[in-house]
Structure 1
């Protein structure tokens, strides 16, 4: 299935995905992730084409789309059952048939006993399960999930992520999931789409995107440094960086210089953010941090062996589109 979205000056994306694929959409704030979903759903103006069919002039109910919002957006005056029933009813199914579908989805998510509760009587995780069930009950061709785990406790996020993953494996359409969490991309995605400044910067399998990130945002999500070097990109881990107060010597080393921005614990290490143009991360031992007197504002040198750096071509940059 091919999905094309063109919102002049805001978002331009062209994505091809197979039926049953989960596409996780990532990118910095303001990249256009939520706007992309809104356009596909008909909630934002712009040209939308799905599998060659123009959706631009279709009303929201005419689009085979299920939408899960960040804040659930459940109807506060309706019970959980009636919230899930709403979609099938709006698409012309009888009350009895719609209720049967709704009860089945509530059962699948383990919340059938909450059918008569209203949203204010549900926990965040329960409400999000109802919201996802409501979206799936419409038998959508495209399922849109806008940060479905945000605002939930970590334990609830993990449980819901596992549940959603099971249901997405059986979902016959295409699912687009917007997230800020690398865990979602690595555990749920068949393909990752990276948006940057409203355009597709990279598309590929999660492992490929994680190994060869093409934007600073993605590199930071997966814990890598990213440096542009002409037409190439260089990626390397923070623990491959050596920190010194004097300029390092040796032709085999890459080097940068700048002030420390932040110093913070990171597992067994101390992580530095250094404004070296670009910003770079470096991990040092607590003993080294103390010995060198590493504090915010201190000018330091960073270096890395060329053999510790992954170098690859800067293809699929913003503005070039992608598939």
Structure 2
């Protein structure tokens, strides 16, 4: 007998080769750069993208099941609400398609709209809803059918920060009580860290890392993940060296002998010459974006956090030439691929 949860091993020729295993009640964040195969993976699991291999959900083989027969809930980036339906009818639509009587489907729909805090908007159509309200309706629709697999494709995309924060908290509460498997595609590290139990990293159509959010953030194996969690990244061969912006020491570049390349007196092992490209507040610090490189050879773009007092004292403004240095003890080294 197949184990409950999600067990998938799928291939979309030229686009994706991926294996996903998740126990019931688990939330898996799927992250990776644009074009990595995230949406393709969701489509392969849903049955909307042709794939070879096997998909098992809740002990049942979904590989040859039509999409309409899969106990599936989907939340899209653009909400995809039906423009002519009221919110309650949209949420009830899937239930009625499965044979649930109209009165019962309406009751369940209203209950889910109430849970998501938009029960008073049940008679509104999509054009009468804000982005955040429409996404709450979309989440209610996805959960109302008690899906065995829940797919969330960038559910907070396009929402204001405050609206996204409130919706993230609300969704976390519902996911904690959800008994199926949820896959969450996101470009936001906060989503992975606060909503997910596990992280699956895709790059160029392949799974390159899996693990808990904490482990993946602490030991990123791709540049995308390192940047996603706010680290600087430098590639050296097959290794990825990462370090925090707070570990970077910034020194102004003077002019010795007219060269403008005098290195600071420091024991730091890692050092780059660069020019400040942007300056912005970042919490209690000032964050610098520095374009490094020398003699016409571009280097990595790095970020450094300094105190406001240091920024003023050192004249750290856009265009300023600086040295960046990091001690070896502050650098994490990981293999680029497993």
Fold conserved between structures, TM > 0.5:
yes
- 1:282 alignment partner in structure 2: 304
Shift of the 199–258 alpha-carbon distance from structure 1 to 2, 3 Å rule, reads farther
Q: What is the CA-CA distance between 1:248 and the residue it aligns to?
A: 3.5
Match runs of 1:65-214 below 5 Å: 65-214=72-221
Shift of the 265–166 alpha-carbon distance from structure 1 to 2, 3 Å rule, reads closer
Q: What is the CA-CA distance between 1:126 and the residue it aligns to?
A: 1.8
**Matching residue within 15, 37, 42 for 1:32:** 37
Q: State the alpha-carbon separation in 1 of the partners of residues 309 and 169 from structure 2.
A: 40
- The aligned length equals 316
What RMSD over aligned residues (CA atoms) do the two structures have, in Å?
2.4
**Matching residue within 314, 318, 321 for 2:335:** 314
User: Could you give the per-residue CA deviations for residues 87-113 of structure 1, whole angstroms, max 9, x where no partner exists?
Assistant: 112223232332232222122223223
Q: State the alpha-carbon separation in 1 of the partners of residues 215 and 32 from structure 2.
A: 16
Q: What is the CA-CA distance between 1:134 and the residue it aligns to?
A: 0.8
- 2:327 alignment partner in structure 1: 305
- 1:266 alignment partner in structure 2: 282
Contact 1:47 1:55 in 2 (8 A): no
> In terms of mean alpha carbon deviation, does 77-86 or 254-263 score higher?
254-263
> In terms of mean alpha carbon deviation, does 205-214 or 257-266 score higher?
257-266
- 2:259 alignment partner in structure 1: none
User: Could you give the per-residue CA deviations for residues 114-157 of structure 1, whole angstroms, max 9, x where no partner exists?
Assistant: 22222222222221111111111222111011111122222221
Unaligned runs of at least 5 residues, structure 1: none
SS in structure 1 opposite 2:281? strand
Q: State the alpha-carbon separation in 2 of the partners of residues 301 and 295 from structure 1.
A: 14
- 1:219 alignment partner in structure 2: 226
Q: What is the CA-CA distance between 1:39 and the residue it aligns to?
A: 2.4
> In terms of mean alpha carbon deviation, does 227-236 or 5-14 score higher?
227-236
SS in structure 2 opposite 1:51? strand
Q: State the alpha-carbon separation in 2 of the partners of residues 308 and 274 from structure 1.
A: 19
- 1:257 alignment partner in structure 2: 273
> In terms of mean alpha carbon deviation, does 79-88 or 248-257 score higher?
248-257
Moved over 6 A (4+): none
Contact 2:72 2:147 in 1 (8 A): yes
Shift of the 90–215 alpha-carbon distance from structure 1 to 2, 3 Å rule, reads same
Unaligned runs of at least 5 residues, structure 2: 1-5, 254-261, 293-298
Shift of the 252–291 alpha-carbon distance from structure 1 to 2, 3 Å rule, reads closer
Q: State the alpha-carbon separation in 1 of the partners of residues 92 and 327 from structure 2.
A: 60
User: Could you give the per-residue CA deviations for residues 223-247 of structure 1, whole angstroms, max 9, x where no partner exists?
Assistant: 1112234554332111211123232
- 1:58 alignment partner in structure 2: 65
Q: State the alpha-carbon separation in 2 of the partners of residues 157 and 252 from structure 1.
A: 41
Q: State the alpha-carbon separation in 2 of the partners of residues 290 and 112 from structure 1.
A: 52
Contact 2:152 2:183 in 1 (8 A): yes
Quick check: which has more Rg, 1 or 2?
2
Q: What is the CA-CA distance between 1:179 and the residue it aligns to?
A: 1.5
Q: State the alpha-carbon separation in 1 of the partners of residues 19 and 265 from structure 2.
A: 47
Contact 1:258 1:299 in 2 (8 A): yes
**Matching residue within 10, 25, 30 for 2:15:** 10
Contact 2:241 2:332 in 1 (8 A): yes
Q: State the alpha-carbon separation in 1 of the partners of residues 63 and 323 from structure 2.
A: 53
Shift of the 299–141 alpha-carbon distance from structure 1 to 2, 3 Å rule, reads same
